[in-house]
Structure 1
Amino acid sequence: MAFGVVYSLGRVRGPGAGAIDTVWAEDGANFLHDAANMTPYDAFTTPLNGYYHFFPRLLAEITTLLPVSAWAACNATLAALSTAGLALIVYAASGAHLRHPALRLLVAAPVVAQWAANGEIVDNVATLQFPALYALFWVLLAVQARRAGKLAAPVFALVVALSTTLAITLLPLALARAVLRRDRGGILMAVALALGVGVQLYTYLSGGAEREIVGVVPNYDPLWNLKQFAELQIPVTYLGESWIRVPIVHTTEHRALILLAWAVLLTAVGLALWRRTRPAWLLAAVAGVHALGLFAVQVAMRGGVPGRYLLPSLLLLVTATVALLLPSTWTGATSCRGPEGFGNVPIVVLATLLTVVAVANYRHDHIWRTTSVPSWSKQVAANEALCAADPSLKAVTFRSGPASKRMWGSFAVPCSRLR
């Protein structure tokens, strides 16, 4: 847990002390602003981009209990703690399907390592919804044996559903689990998830929450959607963002990287068909279908592929690949004789590849975040001076992004919090 927090906080470089001395985008312009200027009820019931954000607003309420000078550090730390916590949830929930700790670590570690959109996702509470969806996927597949788990799982499902409308993509899985197993825990999770999704949809359809983002034009063309999945999602999943999403100068080499990424996936499928180690076909299929479905819903509504949209499908594709390469037993066998050979070699090769990719993407900076957000401590000092110099001044402005970004580039903090 501690390693995950330190790992995350060390990834963002900024004009001051990186993540702990900057506040990025909606974290400041919406969540901290509303927590500082509204009652908790008004803040929690204020939608953003067409839906409610329960968990980020909860973290913002906690952050604004502290002095303004501590907001940046607290916000980033809570985001890092939440990310590490989600990884632990995945590790625990995957135990029923992946018995060996190394396999569970392989599907949980990418929640923290996240080699897609790390410049705009890490240490940022607004985007916790993406790894949370992945954690909820695993929670829905798990069968809770302990009373605490049986109580916590429906609560977790409700929190995720009240934090993102994308939870609707997991509702069929929750309903299928409830119908097939008919256990109380599964039914409660399905009800909780349906309740949260219902609140989000009702608010949107009734006009209580509008989704108006400048420049966004939906694209429902399925061929375009599949092309983006093939040329962007798959390559980023197996090779990382820094080698795929950089400006494409050498097109031949770029196409070769796309083919290489597909070769990794097709090799995993081929080995699963050839080896007699009983790969977890059902887990691979469920994870793969959800990866494609979640990607399709996001990019169709957006009409583009922002880096953060790649993360949940990336995590699900990693799970699908691990399921395909699942050894029948975890041994030290390395023989390549016959279809039962290879032992653990394929899964070790996959783990090595993903580790290299994670290291290569550890500090792939975001185009705006690391260059346009001023040091929080310097902003606090300057604004404290402004409030002290003018007793009639009611509020001051803090920057959370480029000055040109009107909707999330700045926000107001009452002078009463700075005097």
Structure 2
Amino acid sequence: MDAPSATDETGRIAPPDRAGAGRVPEWVWTIALAVLGAVVSWARVEPAARAALWAEDGAFFLGDALAADPLGVLLQPYQGYLHLVPRMIAGVTVAVVPVEGYAIAMTVGSCLVVGAVSAIVFACARSVVAWLPARVALGALTFLAPAVGWEVVGNAANLHWYALWLAPWLLLAAPRRRSTAILLGVVGLAAALTEIQMLLFLPLLAWRFRDPNRLIVGAGVLLGSAAQVVALLLSPRDPGAEGSPPFLSTVQGYLYHAPMEAVFPSRQWKAAWVLHFGWWGAALVLLPFLVALVWVLWRGLAVERIAGAALAAGSVVAWSAAYVLNSNPDYFFSLVPVDVAVNIHLTRYGVVPSLFLLAVVVLATSVSWRAGVLRRTAVAVLVAVLIATVVGALVPQPSARGAGPDWASAIPAARAACAADSAPDRTAVAIAPDGWAVEVPCDRLAD
């Protein structure tokens, strides 16, 4: 057995010994996770969905890049928020990809970002998680978590959720080199300019705030978050429904979309569980995550306890914020019978809360390994988490854009419309879901 990881005088995780003979260098794990994350994400998207554009990906991100200078719209708000990374993917797509390949290029770009986030989570978690297998598992959760296959993976409109998953690891990172800190600061800036909810984790900057390298990383997130707030004030999002959901609906929705999405590989399975056991059965699924949290708070070092508390609180707050701010009476779980409630699926809201809960369990295994107690249990739990998430990734999930329309197949008809006698200067190409379209300039469609 490896010796427990050492800690320094501040009680934080000391860097691992790189001199061990036969050990795989960490940069190999980083690259492997980046590649595997992109490939697995691509594989989790239905073939038909890869070739179809989804809603905002086409109508706004691609549409704005086609209508104006792609660089000029990078910081253009949509629904009150900035979406830097999706707009970057769209800008590269219209700059270098033939029009027939727009849908595939957007899917590829989105999958590459997931791979990059997986690698960055692995690298940043080094400051918190002592046990290398646990850090590898954290990186892998990015692309293996069951919930991401239902709605989020493979489209740029939902990439902001991955930035939120990255937030606690990025803001707890303590890079030892100035160059690494600057790189992570740039990552933090890009992520915060993509996801306004990263500001929920800004209090983590108070941990070892005198560390100059941590300040560099935090500065990127702070700057991006400030820009998001300004964008929201200057370009408010459309108002939602009047009134907030009942508190019980928020609780039931959380149970249905956080612990249950972390455990069950399909929506049918979690619906069957609630139909059979009721909402108390859903609450029971939360119990193992609470046990893991208590273990981290009891046996963890200061940074491990901070991370565990942040992940647990982030799980609750991230779900509640998304659910309450997007209040919709059609999604009030407590106001409808349970057989109706189990068909209310807001999976995109549950992805990150479920990831945070899984991360608490992984963190608990690292605490056991570092402390030299219950090591066999830690190995068994970590293996169980990985097996469960791999199974979840292998279970096929229908995509909202799986029925098309196929983007490339629609281009010949669009060219014909542009070539007509009364040709407009642009033509609309339908995308998923019904009623959405991309306004493509005719000069882009010229043979």
What TM-score, normalized by structure 1, do the two folds share?
Answer: 0.84
Higher mean alpha-carbon deviation, 231-240 vs 108-117, is at: 231-240
Higher mean alpha-carbon deviation, 122-131 vs 293-302, is at: 293-302
Separation (CA, whole Å) in 2 of partners of 1:266 and 1:140: 23
Q: Does 2:229 match 1:201? A: yes
Asked if the contact 1:398–1:412 (Cα under 8 Å) also holds between the matched residues in 2, the reply is: yes
Q: Does 2:99 match 1:68? A: yes
Separation (CA, whole Å) in 2 of partners of 1:269 and 1:157: 27
User: 1:134: which partner in 2?
Assistant: 165
Q: Does 2:441 match 1:403? A: no
Q: Deviations over 1:182-204 (max 9, x none)?
A: 12222233333222222222232
User: 1:329: which partner in 2?
Assistant: 369
User: 1:348: which partner in 2?
Assistant: 380
Q: CA deviation at 1:145?
A: 1.5
Separation (CA, whole Å) in 1 of partners of 2:273 and 2:308: 35
Q: Which amino acid aligns with 2:286?
A: W
Query: CA 1:224 to 1:347, structure 2 compared with 1: closer, same or farther past 3 Å?
Result: farther
Q: Deviations over 1:179-235 (max 9, x none)?
A: x33122222333332222222222322xx312116x645626555433332343222
Separation (CA, whole Å) in 2 of partners of 1:121 and 1:217: 27
Structure 1: 4+ residue segments shifted above 4 A: 215-218, 220-223, 243-246, 253-257, 269-274, 276-279
Separation (CA, whole Å) in 2 of partners of 1:403 and 1:83: 27
Q: Deviations over 1:351-377 (max 9, x none)?
A: 324533442354553463212x21112
The Cα RMSD (Å) is 2.9
Question: Can you give the 5+ residue segments of structure 1 that lack an aligned partner in the other structure?
Answer: 334-339
Query: CA 1:192 to 1:282, structure 2 compared with 1: closer, same or farther past 3 Å?
Result: closer
User: 2:12: which partner in 1?
Assistant: none
2:417 alignment partner, one of 380, 386, 411: 386
Higher mean alpha-carbon deviation, 361-370 vs 50-59, is at: 361-370
User: 2:39: which partner in 1?
Assistant: 6
Q: Does 2:119 match 1:88? A: yes
Query: What SS does the aligned partner of 2:402 have?
Result: helix
2:192 alignment partner, one of 153, 157, 161: 161
Asked if the contact 1:136–1:156 (Cα under 8 Å) also holds between the matched residues in 2, the reply is: no
User: 1:121: which partner in 2?
Assistant: 152
User: 1:225: which partner in 2?
Assistant: 250
Separation (CA, whole Å) in 1 of partners of 2:148 and 2:35: 22
Q: CA deviation at 1:18?
A: 2.6
User: 1:337: which partner in 2?
Assistant: none
Q: Which amino acid aligns with 2:381?
A: V
Asked if the contact 2:124–2:172 (Cα under 8 Å) also holds between the matched residues in 1, the reply is: yes
Once the two structures are aligned, what percentage of the paired residues are identical? 25
Separation (CA, whole Å) in 2 of partners of 1:255 and 1:354: 26
Q: How does 1:46-61 map to 2 (within 5 A)?
A: 46-61=76-91
What TM-score, normalized by structure 2, do the two folds share?
Answer: 0.79
User: 1:360: which partner in 2?
Assistant: 392
2:348 alignment partner, one of 308, 324, 327: 308
Separation (CA, whole Å) in 2 of partners of 1:79 and 1:367: 15
1:281 alignment partner, one of 288, 302, 305: 305
Q: CA deviation at 1:26?
A: 0.9
User: 2:263: which partner in 1?
Assistant: 238
Q: CA deviation at 1:285?
A: 1.6
Query: CA 1:292 to 1:353, structure 2 compared with 1: closer, same or farther past 3 Å?
Result: same
Asked if the contact 1:327–1:343 (Cα under 8 Å) also holds between the matched residues in 2, the reply is: no
Separation (CA, whole Å) in 1 of partners of 2:419 and 2:73: 28
Asked if the contact 2:188–2:217 (Cα under 8 Å) also holds between the matched residues in 1, the reply is: yes
Query: CA 1:392 to 1:278, structure 2 compared with 1: closer, same or farther past 3 Å?
Result: closer
User: 1:18: which partner in 2?
Assistant: 48
Q: CA deviation at 1:24?
A: 1.2
Aligned length, in residue pairs:
395
Q: CA deviation at 1:397?
A: 1.6
Q: Deviations over 1:287-315 (max 9, x none)?
A: 21222222222211012572111122222
